[in-house]
Amino acid sequence: MAEGEVPAPPEGFKASNGRGPFSTVNGPIFHRLTDQHVQHAFFAEHRHTNGMGLVHGGMLTAFLDGLLAAAVFRGAERPAVTIHLSVDFLHMARTGEWVIGEARLTRATAEVAFAEGRAFVGTRDVVRATGVFKLMKPRLR
């Protein structure tokens, strides 16, 4: 498969559009919703890897940051920005694998929200994260 050529996403996932310039360059990112989680996925390409040929920790961190923020948006129904992100790297992801993440809102106050999530490849967890997010006022259009 040529670089930049992404196979069909896992069942139920659809391409995410309008994610902003950073995520667009690092994508494509796909999404689906379940009753309990927001789920995102990306196909690991060579451009996502470090010098050892493993998916770069920065890519995984950015992926989880966006995923947790999406869970906050879904649960709190407000946009949010990251205050704190804690990431634990558990295993490796490699080129040619689908990295799937799932996250959920765990708590929200009037101004701050908390979320947790994980990313996995097949049956192995690759990374887990928790985050604290500042809830923003919706933009007036």
Question: Residue 16 domain-assigned?
Answer: no
Question: Residue 3 domain-assigned?
Answer: no
Question: Residue 141 domain-assigned?
Answer: no
Q: The domain spanning residue 56 has which CATH number?
A: 3.10.129.10
Question: Residue 4 domain-assigned?
Answer: no
- The CA R_g of the chain, rounded to the nearest whole Å, is 15
Question: Residue 36 domain-assigned?
Answer: yes
pLDDT of residue 33: 86
55-106 pLDDT tens trace: 999 999 999 999 999 999 999 999 999 999 999 999 999 999 999 999 999 9
Q: Which domain range does residue 70 map to?
A: 27-135
Total domain count, the chain: 1
Question: Residue 21 domain-assigned?
Answer: no
Question: Residue 109 domain-assigned?
Answer: yes
SS3 label, residue 140: coil
Q: Using a pLDDT cut of 90, give the percent of the chain over it.
A: 77
Q: What does the alpha-carbon distance between residue 32 and residue 102 come to, in Å, rounded to a whole number?
A: 9
Question: Residue 11 domain-assigned?
Answer: no
Which position has the token pair 């990306």? 42
Average pLDDT, the chain: 92
pTM of the model: 0.92
